[in-house]
Structure formats: structure tokens, C-alpha cells
Structure 1
Amino acid sequence: MREATVTQGQGPLTTEAGAPVADNQNSESAGVGGPVLVQDQSLLEKLAHFNRERIPERVVHARGAGAYGTFTVTADVSRWTRARFLSEVGKRTETFLRFSTVAGNLGAPDAVRDPRGFALKFYTEDGNYDLVGNNTPVFFVRDAIKFPDFIHTQKRDPYTGSQEPDNAWDFWGLSSESTHQVTWLFGDRGIPASYRHMNGYGSHTYQWNNAAGEIFWVKYHFKTDQGIRTLTAEEAARLAGADPDSHQRDLREAIERGEYPSWTVQAQIMPAADAENYRFNPFDLTKVWPHEDYPPIEIGKLELNRNPENIFAEVEQSIFSPAHFVPGIGPSPDKMLQGRLFAYGDAHRYRVGINADHLPVNRPHAAEARTYSRDGLLYDGRHGGTKNYEPNSFGGPAQTGQPLWQPTGVSGATGHHEAPAHAEDDDFVQAGNLYRLMPEDAKERLIANLADSIAGVSRDDIAQRAIDNFRKADEDFGKRLDEAVRARR
């Protein structure tokens, strides 16, 4: 038997149970050249672990990269929120940020036309606060009941096994609320050059509440300090083939060089009284709040300055849930957000396990989790012999009686209601505004990108319905797109 080579100071190789491994080069066999023996438990443990070392990939946002960093408060926002990690200028909070694409699987390339996830965990003294957003300020649908259908159109078709233009454009054409986000997606910012050179957005509307109990609605913006850089469709196609890991590599190597990427963090803040009569539904995820109505206010700086040591343990097993709030911050009536408050945590319980919050990347770093939850897969026994029920008279943790956020009024009968309509609500006005803001060369690229995609649709009625949505956003937009699609078909 070849002697094991042990690196000085590390000690001998062991099994998972801690027993030393005698030979990690040769399986135990019945004589020289004979069959392998089932009694070689080191071999069986190694093979069994290998078969299980990949947890199920995320259904969405499977392809990702992440880094640790620091959020620093740069403005006094205490008049709007009592969140302690935002309580004073100069206060610093550790963070972990995971970037991702949405539709691609774990092995997909980075340089593709797809929204980018921007999921940020703040390790605050009041527990973890997760802000789950994208690199666009809007989304394709406004109600979570439509989300699984939308994602099915972006994933592999059950018959062909491929992503199908028919599916995407059929859904988008029949779901006019997607027109705004699709205009973003097929514009210049649809393919960021790197994770460092794109903005991030909380996208949803959230509640801030201050020490006096006043409510404010807020939207978050993360403006890249590196500047916006994007790829054309042709550049992205070359890069995706030459270096599928381009965005992950860029982020890791920039941090290794000490070129720490940063973002200026801004908030749009709306007094609660403004919401009911605002010209757009302020809780509609397919719409933005125009800056002339609620100018973004700088509140902080986010810097990424430390790479994970192990991608699987820290990036793939990291979990983010918009239901992870802290005192001073809470949800809004946004119907997509309301659905995600359940869906994200449920996905993590299935994918990583019921004790996913115990993993180092997910557990609180500046606070202690004190719960009565016990047992389950990978439970680490942290509670010892303490009682697992509440109330109890054995000194266990007790409720505070202090809600994290303020209650909001509701009225009317239960039912399957559409979101309330506001004076200027429709599915096309903001897509048209976005188109009209673009310079001529950007319009030309947008038209070309859309036409290249729509031209791949097999049915004329699906293509025409999709084009008509853009025509309703802007007559010139639709006319030029119609001509470009006809030329390609």
C-alpha cells in the first residue's frame, strides 16, 4: 500500500465520522485483481456523497455568482424608517450579494439576453434583511399567480426540450402588461457587459415606517459606480461561446485585484397618503415611479470586497427571501411581492432543506437566531436540551409584542380582484415613454433585437399580436417593428 501523503499541520484524512482513512488510492478487493468488497466503507461513503453533492438547482436564477461586501449609510433617513442598520450616517453592515440570470440553467452561459437577479442580504443586528431584485426596475407580470406560467415560457419546452420563441411571444402577446419589461429586455441594457457594469433595483414597492409609526412607500435603486456597459447581440453571442463563465470570472478577478465594485444606493420615498390617488398604481411591478414625481435620494454605498471561499457552500446554498424583514421595513400590497413572500422561502425549504438558514452564508452574522424550530434534515442540534414549545416557564425566548411594520387598512369583500386602476394606468404608456427616451441608434438596435426574436415565431397570429402591443405603446415603434419582422420572415 502506498503511504498517504499528509500536508504538514492538517492531520490525517478521515471518513465523515472522523475515522482515519488508510488508503484513498485503491479500493479494497478480494485479492489482487478481485472484485471490490462492500466492506470498504470509505469507498461507499465517498461514492454516495459524490452522487448527492449537488442539491437541486434553482428553477429560476440557477446560474449565479456572488460576493461579500459592506453597506455604508451616507444620509440620515431616520425620519422615514426606524431600521437600526440605517440609523446613522457612517454605519456599516456586512452584506452578501448574489447575481444571476433568470431563465438559464446552471450550465448556461453568462452573456445572454435575460434579466439579472440582484439579491442582497444585509447581516443586521436585528437579523438578516433580504432585498430580492433585478437589474431592471420593472417585471413582466404584476400578479404572482401568473409567474409560473411566465417562467414556463422561458424554460425548455416539454416536447422539444428547447427554449421556444413561440412560447415566449405567445405569452407576451397575450399578456400586454409585459410590454414595458420586454422593451427593457430587448434594448441595450438587456445584455450587461458584466455584473459590475449594471444597476440593481429592488423593483417592488416596500414599506418603511419610522419611530412615530408613520408609513412611507419606498423603491430601491443601486446605481453602478463603474458605469453602465452593455453588449450587442453579436458581441454576446461570441462571448457566450468563447467564455461561458465571463461574468462570474470578471467579478471574481476584479475583487482579487482589489478593484472592488460599488453601487450608490438610492431610494424613492412616497408618503403613504399619496398612494391612493397617485396617477399610476404604486404597487404595480410593471411600472416605475417617474423621477420627476419622486426624485431618488442617495442613502448609502454598497461595496463588494470579498470573494466566497467555496462557490457551492456560499453561492449555490445561499438563500434569499423577501419575507426576511427587520424592524422598520415591511411589505406592501404589491401582488407579486405578496406571492413571493411565500414562494421564495418555500423554494429554499425544498431545494436546500428546512434548516437552510443554519448554513454559515444564511445565518445571522450580527444577531442570534432564537427559535423553537427543531429537527429536520441537517439539523445541527444547536438547541441542546432546551424546551421546544412556547410559552414556557423555563426561560425560553418570548415574543416582543412589537411588529416589524405598520398595519395598512383593507376593505371590501374577498375575491379574485384585479389590481385597482389609477388615473393613468394602462399597459403601454410607460413602454412608449421608454421608447421615446431612446436615441435613434438605440431604437434601431431595439427594433433589430425584437425583430430577430419575433421572426423565429412559427405562427403569424402570434407574431402579429406581439407587434400590436408595441404599436399600442408607440405608433412609430410598432410600424418599424412590423416592417423589420416582415423583412426577416
Structure 2
Amino acid sequence: MTNTRLTTASGIPVADNQNSMSAGARGPLLLQDVHLIEKLQHFNRERIPERVVHAKGSGAYGRFTVTQDITRYTKARLFSAVGKTTETFVRFSTVGGEKGSADTERDPRGFAIRFYTEDGNWDLTGNNTPTFFIKDPIKFPDFIHTQKRCPFSNLKSPQMMFDFWANTPESLHQVTILFSNRGTPDGYRHMDGFGSHTFSLINEAGERVWVKWHFKTQQGIKNLKARDAVRIAGEDPDYAQRDLFQAIESGRFPRWTAYVQVMDDAQRLDWERRTGWDAFDLTKVWPQGEFPRLEVGVLELDRNPDNYHADVEQAAFSPGHVVPGLGFSPDKMLQGRLFAYHDAQLYRVGTNHQYLPVNRPRCPVQHQQRDGAMAVENFGRAQNYQPVDAAGVPDGDHGHGEPGWALNGTSGRFDPRPAADDYTQPGNLFRLLSAEERQDLFDNMAGPLSQVDATLQDRWLGHLAKADPAYAEGVAAALRARSAR
């Protein structure tokens, strides 16, 4: 029976499928948002056994070395001294393709870094782009469905993709990156990595600053022209995997320089007042002229895993894995990922996936979680509970001890889109491109856009014109050239 009204899987009408419920317009998301939770939980269980996103990946072990002192910003012990090294594992991936897809497809690239610190694992699960397509996690399953296969034809569908983007102006910044040559990087060694979200650093005094993480490749940026990406996809679909593996095996260890952009809360309030942009909005970047990058250290990959499945396939990352001195932010997409990633790993790898070597912390572990599949240690005779201490928690025994941030407002669903500026930053990015890069962008976008209906084409060109009239004119000209062939 067809029902045009959106409901939960239990048939309950959905009041709002566009905005997550939060504690105030800027506050954290609420667990009582059962529609959001149901969507994310079901989305995480849509594929067996490969990852729903980031299915095709490569990985390697290495080390992170601190090169500059940032202890004024963070008490995290992995940054405690210049020269200190921390073991790492990095997994690169394409995002939308299946496990057997080609490495050179037009797609963002995952750039997930695990730091095995003395205080537990820190996972920085980012991409090779500083932004993303959406700003609210309630739309993530919908967005990814448009990047996967049409349920009718089982084919990739430009109509589905541009139907979502043309009705979601906030996606324009990331779509511009995607259809530039940055959408087809030349392997994993020649691209940058970003934490993308706004995170935070906390120092010994309990002071918090907001930060953006950047990893700049020391190999130099290299991208593929669209025709070369298509050719390589047919000749060597494992191109990026082969390049990374062979480089490490031959001793040409890839390296990235790590930086942070730093913004304190007073700067945030001033910047938001002046620009109208939300510092925690994942579709936006912080201008480097105002918030310059500060060097932190160097990431080097120097060892291929002995077994791909054991390490690369079973690696279970989560942005919720942070150590004392690091923290989160009110970024709604980050807040959603804090739940969704760990839930995905529980389903995909198993209840006790942390026991696997690639996921096991390199420090002592003690908790009260027991039993379940693959409980290979299960803590022997150790008790499986901790009583409540009526005297309170002793000083110095507060665990992570992340300070809170102020909340205000009533709970509800808050839509920031009507007042949002989704065009200035994409326009700024477009104007930074050279004439040749602009033409590549026009041609790359015109290909799939030529396969959608005229209504969507007009709507999309209207968004481009708001970013920069030359952007819309260039894509329109590329569309006319294709139709004239």
C-alpha cells in the first residue's frame, strides 16, 4: 500500500525530516530524537559485511612526530614534548563506491588516522576535503542513498544526485570541490587530509579552543584529469592501493605535515557576528588569512599491514575516540557521527571489536563491559561492576575531564537554512581557480548534469549563478557543447 506521508518504520508520522532535535539552536542533539536514531541505526545496517560508506580502502602503519610545541592549547600527552612519537594507523578510502569499485572514481577520499597514545586511541576520521555536503546528520542516509544505486535500475543515477544537490544549496561548496580536479586525486600520497569538523583542544587550566586539523602532503598535490581517471579505472582499478603499497615497500615513505587552525570563543563570536557564518558548520571553512595554520607535527607511513583483512578491513574507527586534552564541538554532523560510527562497528565487526590487534589500545584497559561475540579475554575473574561512591569522585580521578560548554534555548528542531549563506564560500573557491581549472570544473560537472532533466539543470545553474555568474555561464556553455556533439 502506497503512503505518501513519511513515517517511522513503526508507522508513526514524522514531524520533521530536515532538522535534528537539539538543546537550543546550537546545542547538542537529543537522544530522544527517535527518528534520527532510527535512521542512523538502520543506515548502519544496510550492507553486510562491507562498510556502507568508505568500503574500498587502503591502509598502513606509521608514526606521528611532534615538531612544534602546542602545550599552551592542549594537555594531551601525545603532544607533551617536541620530538615525541606516537604509533599510528591510517586508512584511506573512496566514499561512495563498493568494495570492488575503482580507486580513481570521482569521489571524496576518506583520510582516517588512529593515534595509539598512552591514554588510549585517538581517531581523527576525516576526508581529503575540509567541508562536506550537508550540515545535519538526519540527512546523511538520504544523501548517501543518492550517491549509491537507484532502487529501480540498480544503476548510479545523476538524476538522484542532482535532485538532492539542487534542493540542498548547502552542498554547493563540497560539490564544487568534487567536480574540480581535486575530486580525482592521483593516488592517496598526493592529497591532503582534513579533520573537516570543528574539534577542540583543552589545556591544563581547563581552557578550551576550537580547532580545525589539516594534514598537508609533503609529496606535493597531484590530481588526475577526468579522462585519465576514467582510463586508469579500466586499466588498473586498484591504482591508489598499488601506489601506496609499492611506495612503502620500496622505502619511499609518504609524509604529511600536521597543522591546526585555532579559534578561541571570543574570536568565534566576533567572526560569526561579522560574517553570519556558523563556526561549527561543516559546509564552511575558516579563512586562513584570519586563522592561520600552526604546525604541530609530521605523520609518516612506513609499514604495510601483514594481512589486509586483519588490519585494513577490520579497522574500526570512531570520532568518539578522543583522549584527555582533546574534545568535541557543537557541530551537528560531528554529534551524529559520535553515535553512528561506533554503532556501525558494533554491527559490522562485532561487539568486542576493540580486542582485535588493529583496534586494541597500546595502553592498559579496564572496564565493566563483558560477554558478547568474540569475548576472547573477558577480563577473567575481575568484577564486572563498579559501585557508586557515596563520597563522590576523588580529586584527580575524573577520567577524561572535558570541560563543558554553555547551553541555552528550548529543545526542538531548528532549521538554519533560510538565513544561511551557502554561496559566498563556493564563489570564493571558484574565483581561486585558474582558467584551466575552471574549464575542467565546467566539463566535469556538465557530464553528469547533462543526464538530468531540464528543471533540475535550471535549478542547479541558478545556485551556481548565486555563487558567481561566471560559474553558471561556464557550466551552461559546457552543457551546450555536449548537446551539440
TM-score (norm 2): 0.86
How far does residue 56 in structure 1 lie from its aligned partner after superposition?
0.4
Residue by residue over 1:132-183, the C-alpha shift from the partner in whole angstroms, topping out at 9 and shown as x without a partner, is 1000010000111111110000001111101100000000000000000000
One-letter amino acid of the counterpart of residue 74, structure 2? T
Query: Which residues of structure 1 form unaligned runs of 5+?
Result: 1-53
1:480 aligns with 2:477: no
Aligned partner of 1:70 in structure 2 is: 63
Residue by residue over 1:347-383, the C-alpha shift from the partner in whole angstroms, topping out at 9 and shown as x without a partner, is 0001001111110000102x12211100101111340
Q: Is the 8 A contact 1:207 1:218 kept in 2?
A: yes
Between the two proteins, the alignment pairs up a number of residues equal to 429
1:386 aligns with 2:382: yes
1:466 aligns with 2:463: no
Partner of 1:277: helix, strand, or coil? helix
Aligned partner of 1:427 in structure 2 is: 422
1:448 aligns with 2:436: no
Aligned partner of 1:418 in structure 2 is: 415
Range with greater deviation from structure 2 (271-280 or 115-124): 271-280
One-letter amino acid of the counterpart of residue 185, structure 1? L
Aligned partner of 2:366 in structure 1 is: 370
Query: Which residues of structure 2 form unaligned runs of 5+?
Result: 1-46
One-letter amino acid of the counterpart of residue 371, structure 1? H
Distance 2:366 2:374 in 1: 17
How far does residue 419 in structure 1 lie from its aligned partner after superposition?
4.4
Distance 1:55 1:311 in 2: 18
**Percent identity, aligned pairs only?**
52
Task: Calculate the aligned-residue CA RMSD, in Å.
Answer: 1.7
Distance 1:196 1:469 in 2: 33
State which of 217, 242, 256 in structure 1 corresponds to 2:235: 242
State which of 287, 291, 295 in structure 2 corresponds to 1:298: 295
How far does residue 276 in structure 1 lie from its aligned partner after superposition?
2.3
Question: Larger Cα Rg: Structure 1 or Structure 2?
Answer: 1
Aligned partner of 2:7 in structure 1 is: none
One-letter amino acid of the counterpart of residue 447, structure 2? D
Distance 1:401 1:420 in 2: 39
Q: Is the 8 A contact 2:58 2:92 kept in 1?
A: yes
One-letter amino acid of the counterpart of residue 421, structure 2? D
Partner of 1:110: helix, strand, or coil? coil
How far does residue 420 in structure 1 lie from its aligned partner after superposition?
9.2
Q: Is the 8 A contact 1:329 1:404 kept in 2?
A: no
Aligned partner of 1:117 in structure 2 is: 110
Distance 2:72 2:422 in 1: 34
Distance 1:316 1:223 in 2: 25
Q: Is the 8 A contact 2:371 2:378 kept in 1?
A: no
State which of 400, 406, 430 in structure 2 corresponds to 1:409: 406
How far does residue 402 in structure 1 lie from its aligned partner after superposition?
4.2
How far does residue 392 in structure 1 lie from its aligned partner after superposition?
8.0
1:287 aligns with 2:280: no
Q: Is the 8 A contact 2:370 2:378 kept in 1?
A: no
1:139 aligns with 2:136: no
1:102 aligns with 2:98: no
Q: Is the 8 A contact 2:181 2:226 kept in 1?
A: no
Aligned partner of 2:76 in structure 1 is: 83
Distance 1:338 1:421 in 2: 22
Residue by residue over 1:457-484, the C-alpha shift from the partner in whole angstroms, topping out at 9 and shown as x without a partner, is 1x11112111211111001111121222
Q: Is the 8 A contact 2:439 2:474 kept in 1?
A: no
Distance 1:350 1:291 in 2: 39
Partner of 1:59: helix, strand, or coil? coil
Aligned partner of 1:265 in structure 2 is: 258
Q: Is the 8 A contact 1:82 1:327 kept in 2?
A: yes
TM-score (norm 1): 0.85
Distance 1:427 1:338 in 2: 21
How far does residue 127 in structure 1 lie from its aligned partner after superposition?
0.2
